[in-house]
Structures are given as structure tokens and as C-alpha cells.
A and B are shown apart, each in its own frame.
Chain A
């Protein structure tokens, strides 16, 4: 009974989504206020029905309703309740429903938090996201209905959730990632609405900025969680594999990062408008591409649940429609925008432009590396794979260049920066960074040019950031007053940049100075990894709720012979799917991880053991947290609220904001 209600809720949601994508748009074009007034109620209704459908699916999982095919395929009565809850998005159909739920969640958020935006803008933005929702609801209902029944042969028990996904990291990884993917649809909708209106002004940039930043922050968290999960759950200690699915999430992140920076320029200086709009479109298109790659089954990975050509075709069509229609609109409307603004060679505008060039180059690189094998395969020109070396070789120089530019860009000023002044300004921070980087390298022992470059870039970004805080916080009323005077969005930027530096440091050190050893060990044996001695103390068996495990006890001692930790890596046999899973034992620390995992049994009393010493590996995720926190801090800045009030007072002027040619005066002042 309930599943049918869920089905009906989805169909009603589809009808509301169709109305939402038509009625307010017609109202905004014909100027009929009563039609535009439908936008908010329709959004709320849409959210209610999708949430209802989602709730019903969750209910089916919690009550072990195996008459629902999706539940039967992805759950089991032995599964603990929290994994039943997360199993809702453990397969294709449910994760798509989660996607849609997030999408309508964003619609609701826009409807609620846009009280102060001009009605025309709100109607159009909501209508555009409504169109996206129509596409995905159709996709769900036609190709991936989560409420399909197994009647009349209801299985006695479910096929269980893939053991890989029975983990805390997986509970939160997809929701975060989807929040990011889907969140870029808001930036996209703002861009499309601006194109329809022909009003690409600073006000538009200011409105879309917080939405873009939030989406980006969620995406950052989602990617970091995925990497963390891969590290301890399936990667044998790797944290990034340049797997096409990982790349699919990195693509919108890279272009989204470019978008955030170019939006800043558009808001503050009124330039780069066409470029910003294009980036917003591209970023959302890349989010869709990611969904297509992951969900269509063209890729083979842990993320590809089932291959179904219909799904792939449908998603590809959705992607094509989105790209073609928005680029057509862009082609017709973008040239309307004229820019008359000047900026000098070392101005902040130029630095941000270079940032965009590097980020777009990186996006293209990852795109080529990801799609090239797929296209060749499709054209029947052979099967090949492009592995880590390609990406490491090409991505690292871009990352380092971005870091070097960032450090210099922090000191630059809008409009005009004197080259000589900038050079003198950079001299000391450069020298300090050079010394610190050299000291760090000396601490890790061997000199490697790439490691030095990476560490130098990371240190350089941090030093420049702190130097800038020091410069800015100078005040006659004392340093503390000066620090307090800085805005939250400034501190958000600081956190974001420091996070970037931390990630760079972590990535550089972990990949250049990490040690990995596979050894054959019997209980009682000792082997060394880095400065640590690892003793294989014993092996035993234990039973979990839905698995049996063979576990090892390993004692890790430091160079003084002091035992620092005891690790219990496991090899689990999940009972239902008969899958074997490796659970690593990790002694985590801020400066290093010691990682032990049990491989296969090679003889009666010997096992293959993988041991790793991973310096600074935690910094990867710590830095990502910093970045995301920076994003959230930035959008809590007062100025978004204050300016919004101004536009409420005078909606017509805020909506039109002059002739598009002048930068927003308030933006230029701040």
C-alpha cells in the first residue's frame, strides 16, 4: 500500500514541477504578478511530495518491506537500523531519489531565502530549477522507479547492502556530494534567469554568490569524505586514484572554484560577466556529466550499481538538452553585455583571471583524461586506460602554479597594482617561505624537486595569507580591534586559502615521503615501516552482527621501542553476499598515520600484510574541512543581508541596477 502512495507522490511532484517550470516563467515574461505568485507555493508543494516519497521509501527500508524490489536488492533484515537508513541511497534508484530530494530542497531554500529579491528574478530562477527537476523526476519515474514491487514472489529476505557501503563514511558521503552537485543548479538557474532578462549586473552576481559558495562547500566536503572513505575502506591506503568517478566529482569542483572567483570579480568590479555566466553553465553541465558517468554504467567502478543502456541514453539526452539550450541562450543573449572597465597588469582582476585560466586548464585536463578512453572505446578504437601517472604529471604543475599565483594575488589590489611595489612587497614573504620550505624538506630527509615545489607553494600561500592579515589588521586602537574589523567573508577567504595550502602540503608530503610495504608475516614476526616497528602479535576470529571476521593484533612501537598503539585490522566475510572485505587498522595522528591491513593467507601460518607510514595524510581532509568552513563562514557575512535589505526597499533599481556597464558602486567601495 505505502509504496504505491510513494509512486503517486512522485507523479504529483512531477506535475507540480511541470507547473513550476511554466507558470511563473510565463508570468515573468508577460508581467502578470498573479502567475509569478505561484512560484513559492508550487516550490513548497513540490518539496512536500518528494519528501513524502522519500519518507515512504525510508519507511519501506526500516520495516524490511522486501516486496519492494529496491529494498529487497539493497537491504537485509540483519542490517543495523542506521545502515537501513543509509541503504536508501545505497543503490541506483534510491540515490537518484535523494538527488531529487536535494534538488527540491534547494528550490525550497531559494523560495524561502529570496524574499528580498525582485519577483521576476525569483520566478525565473525557480522555474529554471523546476525544469531540471522535471528532467530528473521523469528519469526516476520512467527508468529507475524505486517503488517497483517484487510481487507475487516476495523474497524471504533481502540481498543485503553491499558491504563496502556499510560504513559511516558512506552514510554521509553521497548526501554531501549531491548537495554540492545539485547546489550548482541554483547558480545555473541564476545565470539562465539573468540571460533571459539580459540583466547581468553586479546585483545578479551578489545574489548568486552565496548559493555558489554553499554548493561548493558541500561538494568540497563530499569529495573529502569520499577520499577519506576510500583511504580506510577500500583503497589499501590510497586517498585518490584518479578513478573516473572521482574525476567526475572533481570536474564541477574545479570549474565551481573558478566560478566562485570570477563571481567575486563580477560582483566587485562588474567585469568578466559573460565569462562568469558561461562558467555557471559549464559547472552545472559538469555536475550533470558526473551524474551521467556514474549512473549510466559506462564506467566500471564501485559506484556503478547496474548497467542499463536506457538510463544512460536518458541522462545523455538530459545533458544534451541542458547544454544545447543554455548555450544557445548564451549565444543570443551574452553579447548584449558590454564592459567598460579598466584594470592594470598586476591588478587583482588579472590574478583572478589567471586563477581562472589555471582552473579551467585543470578542468579540461581531467575531462580529457576521463573521457578519452570512453570515447575511444565507444568508437571501437581499442580499450585503454589512463592511469595515475598521467594525472599526477599534468595536474601537479597546475596546482603548484595556482598556489604561487595565489600567494602573489593576495597582495594585489583591485584596478591597479604597481608592479614594482608588488615585487618589493613579495620579497620578504618569499624569503620566509623559502626558508620554511627548505627546513621542512630537510626534516623529511631527501630532497625531491617536486616535493620542494609543492611544499614551497603551500608554505607560500600560508605565509602570504598571514602576512596579509597582519597588514590589514593594523589599527590605532590595537591589533585585536583591527582583527575584529575584518569581515566574515574576508576570514572565509582566509580559511579557504589556508585549507588549500594544508591540502597541498598533505598531498605533497603523503605522496612523496609515504612508505608502503607488503610483507609476508606469521604471528610473532616484526617488520619495520618508517621509524616504526610493527609486531604481528596474534590472529583470531570474531563475529559481527552480519559478518564473521578474522582479525589480527598488531603492536606498533616507535624507534625507542615504546609501544604507541595496538591495531586490529580485520578480514570480514559478509554472510549474505559472501563478500570479503578488508578493514584496515590505522593509528591516526596529526603528523602521520601508521596503517596495517591483512591480505590473503599465503600459507598455513603466514599472511600477506600491508604496512604503510603516511606522513601528513590527515591534512588532506583537515584542509578540505578548512575550505568548506571558509565557504560557510563567508556566506554568513552581514553584507549579503544588508544589501538584500536595500534591494527590498527599491526592488526596481536593484533589479535593473543601471546600464550594466558600471560596476556596483557599493561593491567598489567595500
Chain B
């Protein structure tokens, strides 16, 4: 083969090798490390997988935060005002974590419908609402509206 062609071929092969290694690694890593978001209603309906690392979020239910007196373990309920899920976390909660505030947590569901979080996020701006939480709340509110609409309709048919 002509030396220049050969050189070009080498370059192209190198590039191809690099790109395919990158693509391979990426797909492999992606498959393992994608964290899907589930809202409390989806978790209550059993749509979320058990013992897979997922994200979940909503509003911290008023009066639901309970601390363990000996350690840093804390339990709280996260709600979209339709359903709620019990979360458990050991560690330091973010500064803006509070009852009635939106949070997003990373963790796994255990068999009993309890969400064991390894990371809890609340945003730094108190007016900030995570888009996921916002969407979950809107969705749940929409569902409630639809349901109450259905009820009133059935009331009319009597």
C-alpha cells in the first residue's frame, strides 16, 4: 500500500478505536448508572423497582420528621399530596431541608415500601423548586382534580 494511504489508514483506525472504546465504555457505564426519577404516587402504585438506585422526591410532609436520639438517623415522609413515601437517611441533611420544603433523594426502595436514601438534596435557594418535584406535584394535583371531577359527575347522574 502507498505509504501515505497506509498512514491515513492508521490514523483512521486509531480514531475508530478511540471512538469505539469511548462508546463501549459509555454505554456500559450508562447502563449501570442511570438514576430514574419516581414520584411518591408511582412508588405507592409499585411502579418503582425495589433495590435499584433511583431518585425520588416531593415535599417533606409537615410533622413527619423523626430523629433517632442516639445517632444521625432520621425518618421523614415525602408527599405529592396524593401519596407519600417513608424515607430513611443517616447523615447530615442539607441546610434548606425543612418540613414543607421540596427535596430530591437518591437511594433504594427496600421490600417494605421504605426508601433508604444515601443522599438528600434540597436546593440552596429557598424559592427554588426542583423541576422533578414541581412536575410530580402538578401531576398529582391534576389526577386529584380529574378524580374529584369524576366523582361530581357520578353525583350528577343520580
**A: which residues have CB within 8 A of B?**
162, 164, 234, 236, 300, 302, 340, 342-343, 345, 353-354, 357-358, 360-362, 364-365, 368-369, 372, 382-387, 389-390, 393-394, 397-398, 518-520, 571, 577-582, 597, 599-600, 602-603, 608, 610
Contacts and interface: CB of A to CB of B under 8 A. Distances in A.
B11 to A, nearest CB: 7
A520 B70 contact: yes
Contacts of B135: 383
A360 B22 CA distance: 9
B26 A365 contact: yes
B153 interface: no
A580 B95 contact: yes
Contacts of A164: 124
Contact of A384 (B26, B34, B93): B34
A372 B30 contact: yes
A519 B71 CA distance: 7
B123 A300 contact: yes
B71 A394 contact: no
Given A340-B4, A365-B26, A579 B124 contact: yes
Contacts of A364: 19, 22, 26
A393 B33 contact: yes
A608 B55 contact: no
A518 B25 contact: no
A388 to B, nearest CB: 8
B3 A300 contact: no
Nearest to A382: B36
Interface string B5-48: 00100110011011101100110011011111100000000000
B151 interface: no
Nearest to A520: B72
A390 B29 contact: yes
Given A385-B37, A520-B72, A600-B92, A357 B15 contact: yes
Contacts of B34: 384-386, 390
Given A353-B11, A365-B26, A384-B34, A518 B72 contact: yes
Q: Which 6 A-B pairs have the closest CB atoms?
A: A599-B92, A357-B18, A361-B22, A390-B33, A580-B95, A383-B37
A520 B71 contact: yes
B53 to A, nearest CB: 9
Interface stretch (B78-86, B107-115, B125-133): B125-133
A580 B123 CA distance: 11
24 contacts: A236-B92, A300-B130, A302-B124, A340-B4, A342-B7, A345-B10, A364-B26, A368-B30, A384-B34, A384-B36, A385-B34, A385-B55, A387-B35, A390-B29, A393-B33, A394-B26, A398-B22, A518-B91, A520-B72, A577-B126, A579-B124, A579-B126, A600-B92, A600-B97
Nearest to B31: A390
B26 to A, nearest CB: 6
Interface residues of B, number: 46
Interface residue SS majority, chain B: mixed
Interface string B63-99: 0000101111010000000000000001111011100
B132 A383 contact: yes
A608 B92 contact: yes
A602 B34 CA distance: 33
Contact of B33 (A383, A386, A602): A386
A345 B132 CA distance: 52
B29 A394 contact: yes
A519 B37 contact: no
Nearest to A298: B131
Given A300-B130, A599-B92, A360 B71 contact: no
A297 B70 CA distance: 42
Nearest to B123: A300
Contacts of B30: 368-369, 372, 386, 390
A659 B88 CA distance: 71
Contact of A582 (B25, B90, B95, B125): B95
Given A382-B36, A384-B35, 13 more contacts: A342-B4, A354-B14, A361-B18, A364-B26, A369-B26, A385-B35, A390-B34, A393-B25, A394-B26, A518-B92, A579-B95, A579-B125, A603-B69
